[in-house]
Copies of this chain bind each other. A is one copy, B any other.
Amino acid sequence: MGLNARKNLILKSVVDDYIGTAEPVGSKSLVNKYSFNVSPATIRNEMAELEELGYLEQPHTSAGRVPSDKGYRAYVDHLLQVEDLPQKEAEVIRSYLRENMDEVTQLIRRAASVLSEKTDYTSLVLSPQYRKSHLKQIKMLMIEPGRALVVVVLSAGVVKDRLVRIPEMLDAQQLMQVASAIEDGLSGMTLDDITLVTVAAAARHTPLPESLINQVMYEAYLSIKQADQLDLYLDGSHRLLAQPEFQDVRKAHDFLETLNRDKLVAGYMSELKEDQDISHSDYENNEELVNNGTHIKCHAADDPAYMVRIGQEILLDGLKECSFITTSYKIGDTVAGKIGVIGPKRMAYGKVISHINFVKMTVNEQIRRLANGEDENGGIV
């Protein structure tokens, strides 16, 4: 199932053109715009074959042709060369992500915002998952009788906290005792491994009566568990309404409705795996195209590793008319959240990928900075 060079070129041109115009592209206009040195008739024959092979489809007889999901897939996997971001653009983004930045949450929000703005599509950012992180500290701070702040510090250098109620008769001294008992018992464990039982066991190493401890212990447990809650940040959801494929309000409605179901989307995103099928195949130098039609390719060259889902490959119902490009950012070694851009299948893949890669790199860099306590200019404070 290989394609010759000319078919590749035609396929690429069709996709490029369709990305630009959103109009079915025909043989004649193709010849005009891309200065092939063959006649429209030849292109026609080739296009007919491409259609037979499943890379193109016709909305109706005697309109031009439109890429199929498979066509987009081939385009993304083999025909697209991703360029680096222009220096100037890169600088703008970098400085926006550096300025006055002191919390991971804020960084992530800005990443979403800048991605959406620069690509003109909708961006999605998933907060990091801490399930595999280790608990480093757990402190409890008395706010007033009956209320305390539980502070959970994780190995990745991340701090989460939560306001809780505690028994009125517990004083600050006693609260600290319980907290440090729990900390002693749990520190070093991963969040996944901490259960109500382990917390209870740890808390029991205290001279205080159980009646006092129980509630504190339970709240501590909840606070720890809450630390790895997934948050989703969405930005620029209005932008897709400007795309011609969403002129139909019903589609726009369904799209937005799906996106607004945070938990569903967050769950889906967190399940996405990058390390799927990285066989670069024997495709090379635009000479031959190999595609088994189902595999999802991922560019694993470590740094610019992104993943593209096209159309039906997206398992969320309202988004099957879209393409979704994601990549992971890291806190520490393993903990990672995801950054993504969603747009029409007809999206400007090259542009989006280069932006998403750059944002991912900058976010990683910046997170490292925040953790190491460097200031905005890279020096140590």
Contact = CB atoms under 8 A, between A and B. Distances in A.
B143 A149 contact: no
A18 interface: no
Interface stretch (A124-132, A184-192, A241-249): A241-249
Interface residues of A, number: 39
A102 B164 contact: yes
A238 interface: yes
Contacts of A163: 102-103, 159
Interface in A82-140: 102-103, 137, 139
A253 B144 CA distance: 48
A212 to B, nearest CB: 13
A117 to B, nearest CB: 11
A151 B149 contact: yes
Contact of A373 (B137, B147, B157, B246): B147
Contacts of A143: 137, 151, 153, 159
A321 B199 CA distance: 55
Nearest to A257: B238
A249 B241 contact: yes
A272 to B, nearest CB: 23
A350 interface: no
A100 to B, nearest CB: 10
Q: Identify which of A141, A146, A236, A242 gathers the most chain B CB atoms within 10 Å of its CB.
A: A141
A260 interface: yes
Contact of A237 (B144, B161, B236, B260): B260
Nearest to A161: B161
B260 A253 contact: no
A181 interface: no
B242 A256 contact: no
Given A141-B141, A153-B143, A237 B249 contact: no
A38 interface: no
Given A143-B137, A149-B159, A381-B165, A252 B260 contact: no
A253 B241 contact: yes
Given A162-B103, A164-B102, A252-B241, A139 B137 contact: no
A378 to B, nearest CB: 14
Given A149-B151, A238-B256, A241-B256, A165 B249 contact: no
Interface string A58-78: 000000000000000000000
Contact of A249 (B153, B162, B249, B373): B249
Contacts of A103: 162-163
A373 B260 contact: no
A361 B19 CA distance: 51
A165 B253 contact: no
Nearest to A159: B163
Contacts of A147: 157, 373
B164 A149 contact: no
A222 to B, nearest CB: 9
A137 B257 CA distance: 42
Contacts of A238: 253, 256-257, 259-260
Contact of A139 (B141, B157, B159): B141
Given A102-B163, A144-B153, 16 more contacts: A141-B141, A144-B157, A146-B373, A147-B157, A149-B159, A165-B381, A167-B381, A236-B260, A237-B237, A238-B253, A238-B256, A238-B259, A241-B249, A241-B256, A249-B249, A252-B252
13 contacts: A102-B162, A102-B163, A102-B164, A143-B159, A144-B157, A149-B151, A215-B381, A237-B237, A238-B253, A238-B257, A238-B260, A246-B249, A247-B249
